[in-house]
């Protein structure tokens, strides 16, 4: 099974700050990776797919990069509405795997 | 447009069974697997398995083998998640997803005596 290790587990930053979240796969997954934003009471919202493609409607301050085993989600200029839990997910294998999640808090 | 609509919240006793349904629309039902993911309180997202609506074949996470089954009804374009011998740790929101882009709204299952 492919394991996804996400870090940090939480981050506290100010409005306008740059935030970077990292996800490492236990084996190469090409670009079969997405990033989600989760807020209470709603399903996870896909922000980035294929490692670096921004889903339509997602603000351009979100970006993804990486390939193979190391991936990053960057939020440039953090906004109050970005307070949420963020997950990476791989779909390279027939079974999905999620990272442990990163809680982003606004100071 | 693609939609996945799930059944309503459930409250069940420990040891009971529960069925969560996911009705699809807006695409050819047999063209896409349906995955199930759960979110327990204080835990992250956990993938449970998938069902192939064309064949009925399934793949389950090892943790759920023997206690979880997934079925489909092609006439109703619906897939079902069956969870048996419920324990308190099964209290969670259960999601169906066609692919990363399309998810159901979630179904809260509460296991409590």
pLDDT exceeds cutoff 90 at A41: no
Chain B CB contacts of A31 below 8 Å: none
pLDDT exceeds cutoff 90 at A61: yes
Q: Using CA atoms, how far apart are residues A74 and A86, in angstroms rounded to an integer?
A: 11
Give yes or no for B44 touching A (CB within 8 A): yes
Give yes or no for A46 touching B (CB within 8 A): yes
pLDDT, tens only, B40-90: 999 999 999 999 999 999 999 999 999 999 999 999 999 999 999 999 999
For a pLDDT cut of 70, what percent of chain A falls above it? 100
Q: Which chain A residue is nearest to residue B95, measuring alpha carbons?
A: A43
- Strand pairing partners for B6? B22
At residue B104 the predicted structure's pLDDT band, cuts being 50, 70 and 90, is: very high
Chain A CB contacts of B105 below 8 Å: 43
Q: Which residues contact B46 (CB under 8 A, 6 or more apart)?
A: A98, B37, B38, B39, B40, B61
Judge: A96–B47 Cβ closer than 8 Å, yes or no.
yes
List the single residue in B35, B45, B61 with the smallest CB-CB distance to A44. B45
Give yes or no for B105 touching A (CB within 8 A): yes
Q: Using CA atoms, how far apart are residues B93 and B39, in angstroms rounded to an integer?
A: 5
Task: Quote the pLDDT of residue A8.
Answer: 97
Give yes or no for A92 touching B (CB within 8 A): no
Give yes or no for B8 touching A (CB within 8 A): no
């Amino acid at each position: 099974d492919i394991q996804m290790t996400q870090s940090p587990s939480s981050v506290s930053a100010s409005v306008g700050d740059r935030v970077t979240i990292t996800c490492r796969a236990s084996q190469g997954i090409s670009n079969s990776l997405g990033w989600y934003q989760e807020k209470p009471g709603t399903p996870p919202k896909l922000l980035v797919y294929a490692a670096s493609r921004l889903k339509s409607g997602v603000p351009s301050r979100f970006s993804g990069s990486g390939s193979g085993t190391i991936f990053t989600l960057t939020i440039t200029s953090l906004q109050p509405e970005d307070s949420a839990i963020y997950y990476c997910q791989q779909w390279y294998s027939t079974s999905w795997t999620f990272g442990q999640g990163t809680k982003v808090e606004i100071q | 447009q693609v939609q996945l609509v799930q059944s309503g919240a459930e409250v069940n006793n420990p040891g009971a069974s529960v069925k969560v349904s996911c009705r699809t629309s807006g695409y050819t039902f047999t063209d896409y697997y349906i995955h199930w993911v759960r979110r327990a309180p204080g835990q992250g997202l956990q993938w449970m398995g998938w069902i192939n609506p064309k064949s009925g074949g399934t793949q389950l996470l090892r943790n759920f083998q023997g206690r979880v089954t997934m079925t489909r009804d092609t006439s109703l374009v619906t897939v079902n998640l069956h969870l048996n011998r419920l324990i308190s740790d099964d209290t969670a929101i259960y999601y169906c997803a066609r692919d990363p882009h399309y998810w159901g709204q979630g179904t809260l299952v509460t296991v409590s005596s």
